[in-house]
């Protein structure tokens, strides 16, 4: 027993097991192929979207470009975080530098874990799905909020809020460094 395969073309025609079913025709399942009388059958070659097939060399080049973009983004975020820590230390001392470190780490560390997961998907056998991306983004946001909340609760006596927010903001805006040097992935 063969299973019926059907594909709806861009013009609304239904292609089932290689047969073009046009307006009002019955499919092998007994359903009408098309309900709209305005749609007419067309040339199959013009209606099918072409599939792009990459060679191994092209796939490797795309993977290499994607991984270098991830590494560049992480490096830019790390540099911007270090700049925030240094500026905070020079302006307001060690408590401000520690606060800036907490703010920078609140976003950089979860982002680095997420980037590691994306790199495993690029080079490994398991590909990252859109669900993986959304779960990773939720993890990044949730852990950043958790770290900032813990810092606010545990560091009441010494936490310097402007420095912590500067560290967080600098890591969040690390792409500005890439834009400045025209190295945005």
Instruction: Give me the helix-helix angle, 56-92 and 161-172, nearest 10°.
Output: 160
What is the C-alpha end-to-end distance of the chain, expressed in Å? 50
Per-range mean pLDDT, top range of 3-12, 19-28, 58-67, 136-145: 136-145
**Domain residue ranges of the chain, discontinuous segments joined by +:** 1-51, 56-180
Average pLDDT, integer, range 146-156: 91
% of the chain residues with pLDDT over 70:
70
| pTM, rounded to two decimals | 0.64
The pLDDT of residue 76 is above 50:
yes
Kindly compute the dihedral angle of the four CA atoms of residues 84, 85, 88, 89, in this order, to the nearest 10 degrees: -150
Where residue 50 falls (left for φ over 0; alpha for ψ -120 to 50; beta otherwise) is beta
**What pLDDT, on a 0 to 100 scale, did the predictor assign at position 46?**
52
Classify 27 as helix, strand or coil. Answer: coil
| Residue matched to tokens 């590909």 | 127
Q: Is the pLDDT of residue 164 over 90?
A: yes
Q: Give the percent of the chain with pLDDT over 90.
A: 36
On average, the pLDDT of the chain sits at: 76
How far is it, in rounded angstroms, from Cα 9 to Cα 41?
A: 10
- Within its chain, how far is the Cα of 21 from the centroid? 39
Q: Note the Cα 71 to chain centre separation in Å.
A: 14
Q: Is the dihedral of CA 128, 131, 136, 137 positive or negative?
A: positive
Question: For the residues 81-110, what does the mean pLDDT come to?
Answer: 95
């Amino acid at each position: 027993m063969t299973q019926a395969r059907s594909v709806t073309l861009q013009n609304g025609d239904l292609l089932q097991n290689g047969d073009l079913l046009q307006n009002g025709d019955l499919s092998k399942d007994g359903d009408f192929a098309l309900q709209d009388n305005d749609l007419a059958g067309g040339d199959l070659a013009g209606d099918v979207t072409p599939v792009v097939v990459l060679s191994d060399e092209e796939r490797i080049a795309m993977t290499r470009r994607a991984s270098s973009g991830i590494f560049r983004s992480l490096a830019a975020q790390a540099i911007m975080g270090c700049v925030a820590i240094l500026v905070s230390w020079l302006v307001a001392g060690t408590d401000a530098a520690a606060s800036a470190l907490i703010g920078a780490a609140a976003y950089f560390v979860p982002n680095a874990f997420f980037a590691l997961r994306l790199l495993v998907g690029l080079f490994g056998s398991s590909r990252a799905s859109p669900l993986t991306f959304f779960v990773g983004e939720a993890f990044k946001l949730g852990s950043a909020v958790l770290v900032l909340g813990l810092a606010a609760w545990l560091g009441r006596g010494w936490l310097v809020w402007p420095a912590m927010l500067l560290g967080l903001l600098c890591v969040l805006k690390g792409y500005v460094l890439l834009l400045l040097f025209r190295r945005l992935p």
